[in-house]
Amino acid sequence: MAPRLTTSSYAILALLAIQPWTAYELTQQATRSLRFAWPKSERLLYSEPKKLVDHGLATTHDKPIGKRTRAVYTITGEGRAALQAWMTTSPEPPALEAEALLRLLFAENGSTDDLISALDTMARDAAEMYEQVATINSGYLDGRHPFPERTHLSALFATFQLELFDLMMKWVEYAKAEIATWPDTEGLGMTDRTEAILNSIKERQSVLGPHETP
Amino acid sequence: MAPRLTTSSYAILALLAIQPWTAYELTQQATRSLRFAWPKSERLLYSEPKKLVDHGLATTHDKPIGKRTRAVYTITGEGRAALQAWMTTSPEPPALEAEALLRLLFAENGSTDDLISALDTMARDAAEMYEQVATINSGYLDGRHPFPERTHLSALFATFQLELFDLMMKWVEYAKAEIATWPDTEGLGMTDRTEAILNSIKERQSVLGPHETP
DNA sequence: TGACTCTACTGCAAAGTGCAGTATAAGGTG
DNA sequence: CACCTTATACTGCACTTTGCAGTAGAGTCA
């Protein structure tokens, strides 16, 4: 029996709905475009198209490249139907995995310098991801989108990614300013500032304050 | 040979650094406090403390509860040393998994209603998580923190969580307003609004505009 | 033309998840 | 107070996913 279809299977199926690809092209495309919405290992991405074939949602034909032959995957009618059906189902809640935040929660076991460098790493990662997304999307203005008819989707998605990375960078700045007032990482408990933070939470006010739009 | 220590192992080890717990208490505590920084299955959380014992980072002693006996895990000196060493290492980049964003990227395979309801689900999930975090943290003002000396860490972490959930809700509103101008999900490409979005990305301006702080 | 390096994968062990199953404990009912 | 139900506290197992090492052809250059 073929392994069951997962969300990752539908992600690959949706790529096949755009055009036929080889397994390698699929992994490249998935890594580039899905990295920030559905991050999966290259290894998995290679296996998924085979599973789609087992389920009859895609077919392969061999295309000769040089001396060897490469499998090109094409979506079937059944595949398109399965994809449309999936689009009507309800998505799982978003989940964030952030090791730097773990370091904050357990900061008492290290120095303030350890904590600050963990947060700096997170901010640098966010800045790098911001640059990548901003650069690629700016290119779309010069017609560099591989599928121009899909630009409206990519651009709207990009707004989320950039707001998220921006939030991470701004929050790290805020957190570092707060931590700078700590004599140490442990045993502070309810400081005046902590009380102020908790009050702003109770009043549902943003601690980062208003965005400036430059 | 004992399986190697993962980031999840250190997360559990850090909980043991607070106080000794039974495996069940550890899973409860980890699910509650780590859910939004390091989301892991209950099943894994049950296995980790055993691994810590295999590595000599924790010990167990049996505590009789009713007619049965329950293992209480305690961190060792080696465990504290390992934890401190881990605190100095560099955290992995943050990763967000959001199925609703997948639906946006591949929205062409469904109706605008499908897309909007996927985004609504995401906003509802974010609102729910916001409520949970806000409620728990407001309680800390009335001395409801189980480890009062750790309040400064929980509160700072909470600011990130709330800003994140707030961003998700605000962005969904923005995205829905944009999608409302689409006649359909597919083939729109570079609309005037898409061009405006891409220009604001190029200029590095927030599309959500300034936060209001109520 | 052999020696590298890059592209394009596959196999495998180990990490992590989901779910069904189980045994004790606790709480209510006639 | 025996009986039934529900909640607590797990474990086993099959399956999913990851990381990494290995490999075979393709391009590149002295």
For residue B134, being part of any structural domain is answered with yes
**pLDDT band with cut points at 50, 70 and 90 for residue A69:** confident
Q: Six-digit token pair at A77?
A: 């009618």
- Is B27's CB less than 7 Å from nucleic acid strand C? no
Task: Summarize pLDDT for A135-194 with one digit per residue, the tens.
Answer: 999 999 998 899 999 999 999 999 999 999 999 999 999 999 999 999 998 888 899 999
Segment (H or E) for A72: strand A68-75
For residue B92, being part of any structural domain is answered with no
Question: Does the beta carbon of B6 lie under 8 angstroms from any beta carbon of chain A?
Answer: no
For residue B26, being part of any structural domain is answered with yes
Say if strands B68-75 and B21-22 run parallel, antiparallel, or are unpaired. antiparallel
Name the closest nucleotide to A1, judged by C1' and CA.
D15
Assess whether pLDDT exceeds 80 at residue B1: no
Q: How many domains does chain A have?
A: 2
Last residue of a domain, which of B87, B122, B151?
A: B87
Last residue of a domain, which of A61, A87, A113?
A: A87
Can you tell me the mean pLDDT for B90-99? 98
In angstroms, the CA B122 to CA A167 distance is 18
Q: Six-digit token pair at B212?
A: 């209001």
Question: Does the beta carbon of A26 lie under 8 angstroms from any beta carbon of chain B?
Answer: no
Same domain? For A71 and A137 the reply is no
Same domain? For B68 and B103 the reply is no
Can you tell me the mean pLDDT for B156-167? 98
Report chain B's mean pLDDT, rounded to a whole number. Answer: 94
For residue A208, being part of any structural domain is answered with no
Same domain? For A154 and A131 the reply is yes
**A83 or B205, which is more confident:** A83
Same domain? For B76 and B107 the reply is no
CATH number at residue A58: 1.10.10.10
Task: Summarize pLDDT for B15-62 with one digit per residue, the tens.
Answer: 999 999 999 999 999 999 999 999 999 999 999 999 999 999 999 999
For residue B213, being part of any structural domain is answered with no
Chain B neighbors of A126, CB-CB under 8 A: 94
Task: Summarize pLDDT for A3-25 with one digit per residue, the tens.
Answer: 899 999 999 999 999 999 999 99
Strands (E), chain B: 21-22, 58-65, 68-75, 95-97
**Which pLDDT score, from 0 to 100, does residue B209 have?**
75
In angstroms, the CA A8 to CA A34 distance is 10
For residue B211, being part of any structural domain is answered with no
Same domain? For B35 and B106 the reply is no
CB A167 within 8 Å of CB A211: no
Same domain? For A196 and A123 the reply is yes
Torsion over CA: B187, A36, B174, A136 (sign): negative
Same domain? For B47 and B128 the reply is no
Option in B38, B90, B198 nearest A141 (CB):
B198
Name the closest nucleotide to A42, judged by C1' and CA.
D18
Distance A135 CA to D22 C1' (A): 36
Contact A150 B33 (CB under 8 A): no
Q: Poorest-confidence range of A110-124, A193-207, B159-173?
A: A193-207
Name the closest nucleotide to B43, judged by C1' and CA.
C17
Distance A67 CA to D29 C1' (A): 21
Chain A neighbors of B155, CB-CB under 8 A: 194, 197-198, 201
For residue B209, being part of any structural domain is answered with no
User: Domain range for residue B40?
Assistant: 7-87
Q: Six-digit token pair at A43?
A: 């290894």
Question: Does the beta carbon of A110 lie under 8 angstroms from any beta carbon of chain B?
Answer: yes
Same domain? For A123 and A177 the reply is yes
For residue A211, being part of any structural domain is answered with no
Last residue of a domain, which of A87, A112, A147?
A: A87
Q: Six-digit token pair at A28?
A: 């490249």
Same domain? For A165 and A189 the reply is yes
In angstroms, the CA B46 to CA B33 distance is 16
CA angle B71, B73, B79 (to 5 degrees): 155
Same domain? For A77 and A147 the reply is no
Question: Does the beta carbon of A207 lie under 8 angstroms from any beta carbon of chain B?
Answer: yes
Segment (H or E) for B126: helix B112-140
Residues 52-91 of chain A within 7 A of strand C, judged by CB, are 70-71
In angstroms, the CA A207 to CA A200 distance is 7
Q: Six-digit token pair at B90?
A: 């560099």
Chain A neighbors of B198, CB-CB under 8 A: 137-138, 140-141, 151, 155
